[in-house]
Amino acid sequence: MLSDRVVDHLLGVIDAPDLSATRYQLVEEVGRGGMGIVYLVHDSTLGRNVALKVLNDPGEARTLASLEHPGIVPVHEVGTLPDGRTYYAMKFVEGTRLDAYQASAPSLADRLRTFLRVCEPVAFAHSRGVIHRDLKPENIIIGAFGEVLVLDWGIASNLDGLASTIAGTNGYMAPEQLTGRTSAQTDVFSLGKLLQYLLLPTDPKPLCAIAAKASNTDLALRFPSVLDLAHDIELFLDGQPVTAYSESLLECVKRLISRHKTLTVLILTYIAARTVIFFFTRR
């Protein structure tokens, strides 16, 4: 009886692409999923390593080719293997997945800025009529210089309200995806779940409210767009009230003090000095 390791090796050999008619040389398999297999290959023409994804559905290559954004991995070439499968070559992304990034305990401000960098390519894709449909920590990479990339557009669909397949990841998939109906708010839901993932129990209530609104199961109560969600995060980072949370008077005062720390110190110093002068002049 063959061991699991041997079986996995044999399956890898069977699936290995025939690259004899291409400029690429196989190095190793680096990942696989329901929509295809990704290999690290060497581009003999340019003398560099790139990622090559062999697809079960050529639609992903067409989708990525239409999305030119710094937060989306660019497609270098699209072709067909001798067995009829489509492949595309792209930049080989090296960096830290969002789940590992979260485990490194970055500051709240860094987490929120990273989240905003995730929102940017998603909002761009929406402007081009494309919904990702599978936003999750495993599909977000943070590079060595802080660049953020949204990967795996394998189940992306057009922004037309209907998807040809029901797909996604439990815990990040909007409820309407189960019915095949999608919209920009479908990705907003997933981003809300991503924001919840990045937050700690000790993080401020306004942020929890933003995440809850983004991932509301009721479309009418959800942020209408990624830009609206991102705007609330930007308001929070600027020390301003957010739309998703109604703060109390005490919370408002605390926020203003935190936002204007230098001015607060100067005012308190002035009041203290005037108080001291007042008591000394009364003697």
Do 82 and 104 lie in one domain? The reply is: no
Our measurement of the distance from residue 127's CA atom to the centroid of its chain's CA atoms, rounded to an integer in Å, reads 16
191 shares its domain with 273: no
For the annotated catalytic residues, the residue numbers are 134
3-38 tens-digit pLDDT: 555 445 444 455 688 998 899 999 999 888 767 899
Residue 246 has pLDDT above 70, yes or no: yes
Asked if residue 73 belongs to a domain, the reply is yes
Mean pLDDT, rounded, for 200-211: 94
Residues 105, 164, single domain; the answer is: yes
Cα–Cα distance measured from residue 32 to residue 155, given in angstroms and rounded to the nearest whole number = 14
Instruction: Calculate mean pLDDT across residues 150-162.
Output: 82
Asked whether residue 182 is domain-assigned, the answer is yes
The 10s digit of each residue's pLDDT in 97-116 is 999 999 998 999 999 999 99
Tokens read off for 85: 């499968």
Decide if 259 is inside a domain: yes
37 and 130 fall within a common domain = no
Q: State how many domains the chain has.
A: 3
CATH number, domain containing residue 128: 1.10.510.10
In a domain, 242, yes or no: no
Say yes or no: 199 and 264 in one domain: no
Residue 122 counted as domain residue: yes
Average pLDDT on 199-219 reads 95
User: Of 50, 71, 90, at which residue does a domain stop?
Assistant: 90
Which range of residues forms the domain containing residue 271?
249-281
105, 232: one domain: yes
This prediction's pTM: 0.81
Q: Classify residue 244: in a domain, yes or no.
A: no
Q: What is the DSSP string of 180-197?
A: TB--HHHHHHHHHHHHHH
Of 181, 186, 33, 167, nearest in space to 122 by CA = 186
Q: Do 82 and 149 sit in the same domain of this protein? A: no
**For residues 256 and 248, what is the distance between their CA atoms, to the nearest angstrom?**
12
Please tell me whether residues 147 and 123 are part of one structural domain: yes
